Amino acid sequence: MTVLTLRTLTGRPVQILVDQEIGSGAEGVVYPVADSPHVCAKLYSDFTRAAQLGPRMEALTGLSPVLWGGDCPEHLHVAWPRTTLRDHSGQLRGVVVPRIDGTPMLRLLDPGRRADLLDEATWRSTFAVAARVGRLFDMLHGAGVVIGDVSPSNVLVDRHGHVTLLDCDGVQFTDPQTGLLHRGEKFTPEYAAPEVLDGRPLSREHDLFGLGVMICELIMEGQHPFGGVSTAQPPSESVEQNIKHHNNRVTRPDRLVPSADALTAEILPGKILDLIRQCFEEGYERPERRPNGRAWAYELDQAAYQMMGCRYNPRHAYHRSSVACVWCARIVAGYGDHFPPPADWTMPLDAPVRGGLMLAPAPTTLSTYPAPPAPVNGREAAPPAVVPSRSSKQLRTIALIALIALIVLVIIVVAAL
Ligand SMILES: [Zn+2]
């Protein structure tokens, strides 16, 4: 075991297990810490860069947004750096950050793996995750923090769908002690606002553009709203160029070459489509018009509570504005099952198959569940799971058949006597 000992600002030694790498990024490598499973150490690869980061990291670790309760008091929503780490000469080498279990958000979009990563692997749960990301952005913006590097690889999701923001050392914030603005420097082009791609500084509104893109991606099964080849000549070659040229698949579908297997915006609830338009149309050139995290969270929560279950698959959930299960329709169209049922699930004999008739199964309503609770201090109650159940009409039919069978049996017995 190779151990590197560094010290916190107060002189406390921290033993870092540098032969057991947890992960790495553009700026450094993350290692376990010997005496605590709850934290890890991020060590910067570039010593010159680390020296420049000194004042920023001291100011950042002085803030304490780790105390934010978010939507689950037991869950840590922000992997905020706890303390800086210095070598024997006082040189900054890294930071101590919380160690959190979970999986990067984009992995949730793999239908084959989703059920292994989430307790409730349904479309409804992706809305719940998206709503939590909205609340997380709202909390950080309320504290004056600009995230800057908005990306689904910087959001970790646990089995219950709770989210944590990673890589917080690059955020933009003002030091309350000195009043000094520490600017964010990094951004991921695929989630950057058009004005930032044109060279303007990072801002809260830039975060909100990226939030809209991430939410679209989450609820549209990984389809990036600005992904694809443009219909214009010469065609755009990247997501970044499509953002610059205002080519997106949801509000301007004619500007991108159609993809046969793409999900269409019709499956989305109307209020969510309104927010997408507000973000990518009105808010494209007027950043102040982009919906904030709270607005997204409210409508996503509402939509999640308006989901219907499907009697063919307990993991199929679709919005009540659709006439039938959109995921069964995908199976019939030959695109496979986005939400494969549990292994022990017995599929009804009349379940839709590829190329078969798209039936309109009686939806199992969730309307008996209570309305979504209003957030209290930013916290929310756990939403109900999608549980398919027989409708009352079906139950009445079954009872009638049983009664007729009983009468016939009595007649046969009486006739035999
Ligand atoms: Zn279905």
Q: Is the distance from CB of 171 to CB of 65 less than 8 angstroms?
A: no
397 Cα–ligand 1 center, Å: 22
> In this predicted structure, which of 114-123, 250-259, 290-299, 352-361 has the lowest mean pLDDT?
352-361
274-314 per-position pLDDT tens digit: 999 999 999 999 999 999 999 999 999 999 999 999 999 99
Q: Over the chain, what is the mean pLDDT?
A: 87
Q: Answer whether residue 336 is part of any domain.
A: no
> In this predicted structure, which of 5-9, 131-135, 348-352, 392-396 has the lowest mean pLDDT?
392-396
401 Cα–ligand 1 center, Å: 26
Distance, in Å, from the CA atom of 315 to the CA atom of 309, rounded to the nearest integer, reads 8
94 Cα–ligand 1 center, Å: 49
Q: Among the residues of 143-251, which ranges form H helices?
A: 194-197, 204-219, 239-244
User: In this structure, what token pair is assigned to residue 141?
Assistant: 């913006």
State how far Cα 138 lies from the chain centre.
14
DSSP 235: P
93-141 per-position pLDDT tens digit: 999 999 988 899 988 878 778 888 999 999 999 999 999 999 999 999 9
Q: Answer whether residue 138 is part of any domain.
A: yes
Residue 410: per-residue pLDDT: 79
143 and 177, same domain (yes or no)? yes
Nearest CA among 93, 192, 113 for reference residue 147: 192
372 Cα–ligand 1 center, Å: 24
- Percentage of the chain exceeding pLDDT 70: 88
263 and 412, same domain (yes or no)? no
**Whether pLDDT at 220 is above 50:** yes
71 Cα–ligand 1 center, Å: 30
What confidence category does residue 315 fall into, taking pLDDT thresholds of 50, 70 and 90?
very high
Residue 317's CB is within 10 A of a number of other CB atoms, namely 27
Residue 352's CB is within 10 A of a number of other CB atoms, namely 25
112 Cα–ligand 1 center, Å: 17
Distance, in Å, from the CA atom of 361 to the CA atom of 328, rounded to the nearest integer, reads 9
* Domain ranges, residue 40: 3-98
Residue 261: per-residue pLDDT: 87
342 Cα–ligand 1 center, Å: 13
> Which of the given ranges, 41-50, 64-73, 390-399, has the highest pLDDT on average?
41-50
73 and 92, same domain (yes or no)? yes
85 and 117, same domain (yes or no)? no
Distance, in Å, from the CA atom of 338 to the CA atom of 333, rounded to the nearest integer, reads 12
Which CATH number covers residue 43?
Answer: 3.30.200.20
Q: Is the distance from CB of 103 to CB of 163 less than 8 angstroms?
A: no
Q: Answer whether residue 157 is part of any domain.
A: yes
In the beta sheet, which residues pair with residue 230? Answer: 256
134 and 256, same domain (yes or no)? yes
What confidence category does residue 355 fall into, taking pLDDT thresholds of 50, 70 and 90?
confident
91 and 131, same domain (yes or no)? no
Residue 111: per-residue pLDDT: 78
Identify the residue with better confidence: 309 or 373: 309
Q: Answer whether residue 194 is part of any domain.
A: yes
> In this predicted structure, which of 37-41, 325-329, 351-355, 387-391 has the lowest mean pLDDT?
387-391
328 Cα–ligand 1 center, Å: 4
Q: Answer whether residue 320 is part of any domain.
A: no
Distance, in Å, from the CA atom of 85 to the CA atom of 286, rounded to the nearest integer, reads 42
416 Cα–ligand 1 center, Å: 47
Residue 380: per-residue pLDDT: 47
**Whether pLDDT at 368 is above 70:** no
Residue 267: per-residue pLDDT: 95
What confidence category does residue 388 fall into, taking pLDDT thresholds of 50, 70 and 90?
very low
Residue 384: per-residue pLDDT: 44
For the chain, the domain total comes to 3
129 and 272, same domain (yes or no)? yes
The domain boundary residue, chosen from 65, 98, 131: 98
What confidence category does residue 357 fall into, taking pLDDT thresholds of 50, 70 and 90?
low
Strand order in the sheet with 155-157: 103-104, 155-157, 163-165
SS3 142: helix
The CA-atom distances, in angstroms, between 354 and each of 78, 112, 315 are: 43, 18, 18
**Whether pLDDT at 205 is above 80:** yes
**Diameter of the chain measured on Cα atoms:** 105
Q: Is the distance from CB of 379 to CB of 70 less than 8 angstroms?
A: yes
393: which residues sit within 8 A by CB, 6+ positions away?
A: 362
What confidence category does residue 47 fall into, taking pLDDT thresholds of 50, 70 and 90?
confident
150 and 280, same domain (yes or no)? yes
266 and 162, same domain (yes or no)? yes
325 Cα–ligand 1 center, Å: 5
